[in-house]
Structure 1
Amino acid sequence: MGVVLFGSSGISPPTSSERNRQGRSGKCQAMARKRRGKSMKNLMMINGVKAFIDYDPDAETFRGEFVGLNGGADFYGESIAQLETEGAKSLSVFLEMCKERDIEPYKNFSGKFNVRISPEVHARLNEIALSQSISLNAAVENAVYDYIEHSA
């Protein structure tokens, strides 16, 4: 079980420049395109909080990681029952640490984020948006909704 807090009393999250230091090379973009075709991770609900589950065949164990938290809380188990038990423990520890340190445990989403795409895709999306008399933001939002609908 691992717990990492971000906030005034915890560890600072990496800055955007730290996260983007390596950039997206052609090789990284090709890898991202390959990943898009793969199936989604398994999803588990533990005490009302979503967690993505992976299986590590080398270690013969499952690994879970909660999403939507203001920090990291992961957990491991050799069976689904053990994964659920360890996940509940990890989440409980995380929420208690947040309470003790007066840190909001859940991420807040503003509805704003930067998107980096090629100039060609940007230009084509702009043309489509103009042809439909909608803003570029509306076109991006429509594309994201379509992506979500087809990924579910």
Structure 2
Amino acid sequence: MNTLKYKGFIGSVNFSEEDGIFFGKIEGINGMVNFEGESVKELTEAFHEAVNDYLIYCEEEGIQPHKSYSGALNIRLTPEIHSRVAVLAQQAGISINAFIKQALEKQIATML
């Protein structure tokens, strides 16, 4: 998926061939904030304006701009992967949850 980034926010990028416009929404927030433009430049400017307006709204309403997450995550694995993770976690002397948490932390660190 193509995205835009501004002030720590991510905006999705889509194109409607029928309407001849680029459009998107701010991801990772509690709410729906859309933006659109007829060119990449217009879309980027509209995204920046949408983020700025959203931040003003959040400040006026006293709400947190970013979506909050509980920290609990339910993932689906194939039985084979689940079994391999269980064996590797046991060999490392940690729980499956700790093993998956460490794996995700390592993956995220390589992407930053």
CA RMSD of aligned residues (A): 2.8
| CA distance in structure 2 between the partners assigned to 1:101 and 1:71 by the alignment | 13
1:52 and 2:12 matched: yes
1:103 and 2:63 matched: yes
Q: Is the 8 A contact 1:98 1:104 kept in 2?
A: yes
Instruction: Please name the residue that 2:76 is paired with.
Output: 116
Q: Within 5 Å, which residues of 2 pair with 1:17-56?
A: 41-56=1-16
Instruction: Please name the residue that 1:133 is paired with.
Output: 93
Shift of residue 107, structure 1, vs aligned partner:
1.9
Q: Relative contact order, CA 8 A, sep 6+: which one is greater?
A: 1
Unaligned runs of 5+ in 1: 1-40
TM-score normalised per structure 2: 0.72
SS in 1 for 2:36: strand
SS in 2 for 1:75: strand
| CA distance in structure 2 between the partners assigned to 1:104 and 1:55 by the alignment | 30
Measured against aligned partners, the alpha-carbon deviations of 1:9-56 in whole angstroms (never above 9, x if no partner) come to xxxxxxxxxxxxxxxxxxxxxxxxxxxxxxxx1221234422221223
TM-score normalised per structure 1: 0.57
1:64 and 2:32 matched: no
Q: Aligned pairs, how many? A: 112
SS in 2 for 1:76: strand
